[in-house]
């Protein structure tokens, strides 16, 4: 082991796959923070901070590796200055007493202000081997997990799962500490079945090799590559049968990567007779419930094949494939049974059953929610001109009926989808079926909005009713707690308006859902927040661009997007940012003069001074007249930006705060008018210009 | 030759018996899960170590399928193991138990996948996994954290094997009804799971879904609830340990189990609306928590007072969770 190498492995029982990456990130930050606080440098040289903490994980181990960690803190040497040399001896003695040193140890230091008594304090830096045993237990137990447990009793530590082994080496030596009765040591452990339970470790390279020899692939990227390579090989072998491609599912792949220490993919098959069931149902069973990757045939349709991943080096006897096929068969049989049972009671006959399904205790049953949704669809219809109101209303009526079906009770993630599939099978028009199918969408920023205008209308009504209802009874999201997924609902509304290019004013949408009391105002703010988030995170607009655009109007979502887009396009041009600076200056001048509101109307042309002032007025009016009707915001901004030279000349040549009060007032009115006239697209003063930063 | 259903049970009992477990018999009151038996629910409370294993037929009326469905049963059989405190090598012990029933871990894929357990009616929850064997869930593995609303110290490990699933896997049959119950013996009849249990599944499905009289069930529920409340009210909390020890806390707990089972029956009859549901769960939980407190006070009165319930952040069980567990 290199003499300054640091290696930590926390050996645990299986950590939930989805918690591992965030835990590694936190582990890395805790170590970096700890090293910084302890002034432990990297690069083998005191003073250079550690930047290189590598982390790795499998379900049973969290690992951190630092190639170079300084072997001690730097010494501290500082000069503490006391009273002036000229003061009486008592002051000097008092200073020495305060420091707890002999007055004879004080020296004299010269400063520009004169000579002073001073003391040179020296503190020797501690050795890393003394510091790590204190730091490491704090770091390990400081890792955040969303849900923790205790296992050695209530006085013991909490962690995500029991810690069973600790490997901690610095410079090849054990860093001694213990957690919950487990002592740190120089040993790791292999794969449960493929490896030895106790393996001596001397350094990171040897550790990696020892793990590999004992059935553990430490690097997540390697496990991912292995799964994909195995799958590619299996698919190539299945080519003659026409089974072409793996259906991508990065989230599931990541789950499999963190469920295994030694992943091996293999391919199973199922009876093609099950393909009579909708693909959505089959894929949900395979991916969500069995964690299998599904496969497409050459035509892109679901193939009667699946790829499963075992935590083992192979399946020589075929028993594992046989077992997985057997489980899938049972699952598909269940699904088919539910599908057939559900068909006996069409969606429309399920309406009375919705009375027995509670939406929320104060907001009534799903039957009541359905009735509100239908009414809201009609009130919102004008905002979605492309939608057939009758189709949308019918869809809203039937949309929640699938909550009473066996299939949705078993596969809750298929709510909506199942309703859409049943509606189609039961002869409802495609418009209705598709709207039901899509009405929970979009559930994330990545998921697409409902495909049809009718679907968009139903989805808007469903989400707005939920939002208005919950806000009206005080169920607002707070912090990380959002049990009714209201943020997602509002985000969905914003995304639908954007994707379907619906110029519906948000306050009118909110009002249509009839929130009570203060809820309307709260919802307005809530939506503004969601719109801001959407523009920044989903559309990638810069912080100040979003602020500038929303400052002058945040009611019409597609319009706000168009204005952001225009700002983004025009921003790099040479005149734009200087003009923003000029607008900021105008605002400051007006603020000092009592505010923009003090100067209504237009400037009096007769009072304008010939030259720069009259020139600015004339140019600005021309640009304003030519752009005021336009929705081509990019053009508006370009033309506005062209005013920059005139504005600059104005400020160069003209004194705003003129002696003559009428002239001064007229100039301020000109500036106020400029500000009002040219902030239709965005408030330029919100743009952060490079030199402001 | 794969293990018969009964040999599977014998093997698991043998294994856990050798680990120092008391091998108990199934509890003789209807329960929804092995966790509800006093051997688990009450024994996990307090500091006294305990190890026990038992088979528990577990009744979940709503899961009945008239004996038609190859995988779903009104009454399935669990093998329940409690190790209190949980030993550090508990996972290895568990894997050894699988080898003991003939599963070669070199030839099969075992995964521990996150699955936390909770029972709102018992005020109980824990952290753990579902153990997957070649894609099949065969065991629920839980570190108990709370029971009867009280923090557990020491922490017990609970292993719940699904016996029908394991047997069907070992015998490689697609329907639980095709499981061989006993090993073949020349000159003696062989019995399948169907022979032994089908009438039970069919008749109880008919009763639970069609014939159970709802007003009678409600009446029974209220009677058992009343009896439990009466007993809890009479618990001599101020008196000497000797007096307390005589008090029938265990009998009060039987009343809780009756209430829980009647609730499940009412539920399968569709007699409980969603709004009522939460309230009725709350009533049963109140009884369960009352019994747990009394038991702890009674058993440990002369040792130390019961600990007040702690509530670790973000881990309180939700009211809406399934009740039958």
Contact call for A358 and B274, based on CB within 8 A: yes
Q: Decide if B134 and A290 are in contact by the 8 Å CB cutoff.
A: no
| Nearest by CB: B91 against A13, A311, A323 | A13
Tens digit of pLDDT for each residue in B52-66?
Answer: 999 999 999 999 999
The fold of the A347-540 domain, in CATH, is: Hypothetical protein af1432 (1.10.3210)
The answer to whether A290 faces chain B, any CB pair under 8 Å, is yes
Whether residues A147 and B314 touch (CB distance < 8 A) is answered with yes
Q: Is the ipTM of this complex over 0.85?
A: yes
* B319 — pLDDT class (breaks 50, 70, 90): very low
How far is the alpha carbon of A413 from chain B, nearest alpha carbon, in Å?
A: 17
Chain centroid to CA B53: how far?
12
pLDDT value at residue B320: 34
Nearest in space to B67 (alpha carbons), one of B197, B166, B169, B179: B197
What pLDDT, on the 0 to 100 scale, is given for residue B302? 67
Shortest distance, CA A179 to any CA of chain B (angstroms) = 13
Q: Is the pLDDT assigned to residue B318 strictly greater than 80?
A: no
Pairwise CB contact (< 8 Å): A356 & B70:
no
A-chain residue closest to B115, CA distance: A16
Domains of chain A, by residue range, sit at 6-72+127-213, 77-123, 220-330, 347-540, 570-692
Q: Report the gap between the CA of B45 and the closest CA in chain A (Å).
A: 12
- The alpha carbon of A146 is separated from its chain's Cα centroid by a whole number of angstroms, namely 16
Inter-chain contact A151–B112, Cβ cutoff 8 Å? no
Predicted local confidence at residue B274, as pLDDT? 62
From chain B residues 289-318, the ones with a CB under 8 A of any chain A CB are: 307, 310, 312, 314-315
Q: What ranges do the domains of chain B cover?
A: 5-207, 212-300
Res A43: pLDDT: 61
Confidence class for position A511, pLDDT limits 50, 70, 90: very high
In this structure, of A111-120, A522-531, B198-207, the range with the lowest mean pLDDT score is A111-120
B5-207, CATH topology level = BirA Bifunctional Protein; domain 2 (3.30.930)
pLDDT tens digit string along A222-265? 999 999 999 999 998 887 776 678 999 999 999 999 999 999 99
Contacts A290 to B, Cβ<8 Å: 135
pLDDT on residue B271: 83
Tell me the pLDDT tens digit for each residue of B78-90.
Answer: 999 999 999 999 9
Q: Is the peptide bond before B154 cis (omega within 30 degrees of 0)?
A: yes
Calculate Rg over the CA atoms of chain A: 35
* Cross-chain Cβ contact B154/A153 below 8 Å: yes
Instruction: Identify the CATH homologous superfamily for domain B212-300.
Output: Class II aaRS and biotin synthetases; domain 2 (1.20.58.180)
Q: What integer pLDDT is reported at residue A278 of this predicted model?
A: 92
Angle between helices A430-438 and A389-398 (to 10 degrees): 50
pLDDT of residue B325: 36
Does residue A17 belong to the interface with chain B, where contact is any CB pair within 8 Å?
A: yes
pLDDT of residue A693: 39
β-bridge pairing A54-58 and A6-12: unpaired
Residues of A in contact with B83 (CB under 8 A): none
Q: Which of B86, B151, B275 sits opposite A151 (nearest CB)?
A: B86
Residue of B nearest to A291 (CA): B135
Partners of B22 in the β-ladder: B52
Could you report the per-residue pLDDT of A586-640, keeping only the tens digit for each?
989 999 988 888 899 899 989 998 899 999 999 999 999 999 888 899 999 999 9
pLDDT tens digit sequence for A140-168: 999 999 999 999 999 999 999 999 999 99
- pLDDT tens digits along A183-224: 999 999 999 999 999 999 999 999 999 999 999 999 999 999
- Position A597 scores a pLDDT of 86
Q: Is the CB of B109 inside 8 Å of chain A's CB atoms? A: yes
Determine contact, residues B78/B33, Cβ cutoff 8 Å.
Answer: yes
Distance from CA of A315 to the nearest CA of B (A): 7
Distance, CA of A393 to CA of A435 (rounded, Å): 10
Cα B36 to Cα B56: distance, rounded to the nearest angstrom: 10
Which pLDDT score, from 0 to 100, does residue A47 have?
59
pLDDT attached to residue A316 = 93
CATH level 3 topology of A570-692:
Isoleucyl-tRNA Synthetase; Domain 1 (1.10.730)
Q: A266 contacts in B (CB within 8 Å)?
A: none
pLDDT at B303 over 70: no
Long-range contacts of A537-545 (CB under 8 A, 24+ apart): A537/A445, A538/A445, A538/A495, A539/A564, A541/A567, A541/A568, A542/A568, A543/A688, A544/A686, A544/A687, A544/A688, A545/A571, A545/A682, A545/A687
């Amino acid at each position: 082991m290199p003499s300054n190498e640091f290696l930590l492995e926390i050996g645990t029982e299986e950590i939930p796959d989805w918690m591992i990456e965030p835990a590694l990130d936190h582990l890395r930050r805790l170590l970096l923070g700890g090293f910084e606080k302890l002034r432990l440098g990297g690069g083998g040289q005191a003073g250079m901070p550690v930047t290189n903490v590598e982390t790795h994980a499998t379900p049973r181990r969290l690992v951190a590796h630092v190639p170079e960690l300084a072997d001690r803190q730097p010494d501290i040497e500082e000069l503490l200055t006391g009273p002036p040399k000229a003061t009486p001896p008592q002051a000097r003695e008092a200073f020495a007493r305060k420091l707890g040193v002999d007055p004879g140890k004080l020296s004299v230091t010269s400063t520009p202000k004169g000579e002073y008594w001073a003391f040179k304090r020296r503190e020797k830096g501690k050795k890393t081997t003394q510091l790590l045993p204190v730091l490491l237990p704090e770091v390990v137990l400081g890792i955040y997990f969303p849900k923790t447990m205790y296992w050695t009793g209530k006085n013991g530590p909490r962690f995500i799962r029991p810690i069973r082994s600790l490997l901690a080496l610095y410079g090849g030596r054990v860093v001694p500490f213990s957690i919950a009765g487990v002592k740190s040591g120089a040993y790791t452990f292999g794969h449960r079945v493929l490896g030895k339970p106790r393996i001596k470790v001397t350094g990171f390279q040897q550790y990696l090799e020892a793990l590999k020899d004992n059935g553990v692939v430490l690097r997540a990227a390697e496990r991912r590559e292995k799964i994909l390579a195995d799958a590619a090989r299996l698919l190539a072998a299945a080519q003659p049968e026409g089974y072409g491609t793996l259906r991508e599912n990065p989230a599931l792949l990541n789950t499999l990567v963190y469920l295994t220490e030694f992943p091996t993919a293999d391919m199973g098959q199922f009876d093609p007779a099950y393909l009579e069931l909708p693909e959505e149902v089959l894929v949900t069973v395979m991916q969500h419930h069995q964690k299998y990757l599904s496969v497409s045939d050459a035509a892109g349709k679901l193939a009667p094949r699946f790829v499963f991943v075992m935590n083992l080096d192979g399946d020589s006897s075929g028993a594992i494939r046989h077992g997985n096929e057997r489980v899938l068969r049972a699952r598909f049989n269940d699904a088919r049974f539910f599908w057939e049972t559900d068909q006996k009671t069409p969606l429309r006959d399920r309406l009375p059953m919705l009375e027995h399904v509670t939406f929320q205790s104060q907001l009534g049953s799903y039957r009541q929610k359905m009735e509100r949704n239908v009414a809201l669809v009609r009130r919102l219809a004008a905002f979605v001109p492309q939608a057939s109101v009758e189709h949308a209303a019918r869809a809203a009526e039937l949309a929640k009926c699938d909550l009473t079906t066996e299939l949705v009770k078993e596969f809750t993630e298929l709510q909506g989808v199942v309703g859409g599939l049943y509606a189609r099978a039961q002869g409802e028009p495609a418009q209705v079926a598709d709207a039901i199918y899509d009405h929970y969408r979009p559930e994330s920023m990545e998921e697409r909005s409902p495909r049809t205008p009718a679907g968009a209308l139903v989805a808007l009504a469903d989400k707005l009713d939920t939002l208005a209802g919950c806000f009206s009874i005080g169920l607002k999201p707070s912090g990380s707690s959002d049990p009714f997924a209201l943020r997602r609902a509002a985000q969905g509304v914003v995304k639908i308006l954007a994707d379907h290019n619906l110029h519906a004013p948000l306050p009118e949408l909110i009002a249509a859902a009839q929130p009570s009391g203060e809820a309307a105002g709260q919802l307005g703010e809530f939506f503004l927040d969601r719109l801001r988030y959407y523009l920044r995170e989903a559309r990638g607009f810069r912080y100040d661009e979003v602020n500038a655009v929303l400052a002058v109007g945040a009611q019409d979502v597609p319009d706000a997007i168009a204005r952001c887009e225009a700002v983004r396009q025009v921003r790099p041009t040479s005149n734009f940012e200087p003009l923003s600076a000029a607008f900021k200056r105008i605002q400051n001048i007006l603020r000092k003069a009592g505010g923009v509101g003090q100067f209504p109307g237009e400037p009096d042309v007769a009072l304008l001074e010939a030259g720069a002032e009259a020139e600015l007025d004339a140019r600005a009016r021309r640009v304003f007249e030519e752009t005021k009707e336009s929705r081509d915001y990019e053009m508006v901004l370009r033309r506005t930006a062209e005013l920059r030279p005139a504005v600059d000349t104005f400020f160069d040549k003209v004194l705003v705060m003129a002696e003559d009060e009428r002239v001064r007032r007229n100039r301020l009115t000109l500036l106020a008018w400029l500000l009002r006239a040219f902030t239709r697209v965005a408030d330029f003063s919100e743009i952060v210009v490079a030199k402001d930063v | 030759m794969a293990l018969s259903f009964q040999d599977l049970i014998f093997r698991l009992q043998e294994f856990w018996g050798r680990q120092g477990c008391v091998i108990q018999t199934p509890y003789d009151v209807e329960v929804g899960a092995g966790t509800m038996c006093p051997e688990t629910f009450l024994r996990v409370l307090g500091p006294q170590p305990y190890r026990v294993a038992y088979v528990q037929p577990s009744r979940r009326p709503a899961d009945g399928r008239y004996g038609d469905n190859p995988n779903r049963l009104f009454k399935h059989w669990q093998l329940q193991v409690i190790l209190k405190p949980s030993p550090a090598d508990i996972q290895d012990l568990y894997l050894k138990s699988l080898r003991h029933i003939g599963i070669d871990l070199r030839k099969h894929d075992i995964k521990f996948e996150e699955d936390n357990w909770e029972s709102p009616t018992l005020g109980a929850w824990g952290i753990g996994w579902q153990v997957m064997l070649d894609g099949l869930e065969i065991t629920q593995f839980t570190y108990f954290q709370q029971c009867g609303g009280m923090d557990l110290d020491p922490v017990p490990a609970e292993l719940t094997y699904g016996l029908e699933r394991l047997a069907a896997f070992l015998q490689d049959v697609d329907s639980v009804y095709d499981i061989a119950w006993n090993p073949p013996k020349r000159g003696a009849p062989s019995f399948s799971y169907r022979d032994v249990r089908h009438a039970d599944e069919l008749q109880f499905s008919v009763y639970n879904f069609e014939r159970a009289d709802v007003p009678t069930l409600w009446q029974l529920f209220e009677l058992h609830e009343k009896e439990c409340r009466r007993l809890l009210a009479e618990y001599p909390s101020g008196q000497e340990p000797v007096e307390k020890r005589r008090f029938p806390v265990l009998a009060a707990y039987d009343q809780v189990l009756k209430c829980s089972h009647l609730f499940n029956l009412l539920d399968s009859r569709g007699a409980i609306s969603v709004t009522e549901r939460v309230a009725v769960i709350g009533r049963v939980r109140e009884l369960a928590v009352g019994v747990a407190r009394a038991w702890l006070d009674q058993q440990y009165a002369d040792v130390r007072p019961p600990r007040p319930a702690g509530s670790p952040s973000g881990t309180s069980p939700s009211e809406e969770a399934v009740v039958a567990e």
